[in-house]
Amino acid sequence: MKKKKKLIIIAIIAGAVIVVLAAAGYIWVMNPFNVGIDPLVTSSRPADAGRLLEISFSYSKQRLIASSQFAFWIEDMDGNYIDTLYVTQWTARGGYSYRPLSLPIWVSAAQPSGIGTVEMDAISGATPRSGSYYIYWDFTDRNGNMVTDTELRFFIEGTMNFNDDVMYTGVITVGDEGWTQTPAPEFSLQDSVYKDMVTDVRVTFHPGR
């Protein structure tokens, strides 16, 4: 009996080790997609963390039907899609097909129907609570390759309610000097009462060491 019990314990421990190793291997293999790293955070990173694009913003959740969807992505200066930094989960995982008014510009750029599950899991997340957030980009494309362009474009799109949208955009100049810009919002409906959904947007380039 004791021998059988000992064998069971050994089998349980061995199984746990296999699960841990399998998970670690999965994350290592899928590292180009930053699996396991939440793209939306509530704190800033050290200034010496290397070359980064930092986007900070305030978010106010709109408790309405067809609302509270947003996406952050990067394109080159010719309009070629490079990577999505963050997109709300509902739209990313098929909501765009039920509601074409949800983040239509991001959908056109990113073509989410062609994004695999692993990659989508790495760039999407549940609609967050109201608060202040940061998103970081390490200048790698969707496949984990370093982007060497010296000028790029960032886009921030928010669907506040049905066809009531907001867009922020600007040029990323890559160089040896850091900078910060505060892009102005562009609204699809100028008389919108939901303009506080995404505000206080600041985009900062950290050149690193």
For residue 77, give the nearest of 136, 149, 148, 139 by alpha carbon: 149
| Strand stretches in 16-112, DSSP E | 52-59, 69-76, 81-88
* 12 pLDDT higher than 80: no
pLDDT of residue 209: 72
Q: What is the reported pLDDT for 30?
A: 36
Q: Report in angstroms the alpha-carbon separations of 100 from 103, 115, 140, 162.
A: 8, 17, 29, 9
Q: Are residues 90 and 185 in the same domain?
A: yes
Parent domain of 29: 1-33
What is the per-residue pLDDT across 60-80, written as a single tens digit (0 to 9) for each? 999 898 999 999 999 999 999
Evaluate if pTM is beyond 0.85: no
- Tell me the pairing of strands 131-137 and 52-59: antiparallel
Q: Are residues 61 and 24 in the same domain?
A: no
Pair (44, 22) in one structural domain: no
- Predicted local distance difference test score (pLDDT) of residue 113: 95
Q: Are residues 148 and 170 in the same domain?
A: yes
Question: Which CATH number characterizes residue 136's domain?
Answer: 2.60.40
Distance CA 47, CA 54 (A): 10
Local structure of residue 62 (DSSP, 8 states): -
Contact, 197 vs 68, CB < 8 A?
A: yes
What pLDDT was estimated at residue 172? 98
